[in-house]
Chains A and B, each alone.
Chain A
């Protein structure tokens, strides 16, 4: 079983819709959870990170963690065509500077 599972999509929604992106993980030692956005042929951009369970909001983006279910989500409100990108969840592989374990990434398309 892979440590981080993420549906690769594509996920296509109309402009203005609320988008829900999700990942599940198997390693209960994971404590930090990140979401990266990657536009085509660009490097990943850190969107949000959370620690422990609960919600964290930043503008139109909300990150949610449910440690009991090993499930994390990223919600995008009032989605825009410029949000079309691949969204990757990521978790530190270990303690200290150990690199990140990424999900496969979900390709999101916002239709104008």
Chain B
């Protein structure tokens, strides 16, 4: 149980275009999801907390207009990278809290690799 999926797994886009990444909880409802960014050989950096039915909470230094987060349902959060540039190329990972699971445990998606040309 407690499976989180992400789509797409990999995306290549041109500079200036927008890219949407989906994060779904498949067998549980998640009121809270998280979006991370991971650079090669570095740790996961939390970008924002996605709350169902309310605005996302962004970490310091993360541009909310650049990384739009929408958590419209209890099983889906989307991250849209707007006007993507090569420096946005990275590995984006989402996670979700299962309210019925062990406290504090996050379930991670497989990640989405974004390459901006």
Q: Do A and B bind each other?
A: no
Residues in chain A within 8 A of chain B (CB atoms): none
Residues in chain B within 8 A of chain A (CB atoms): none
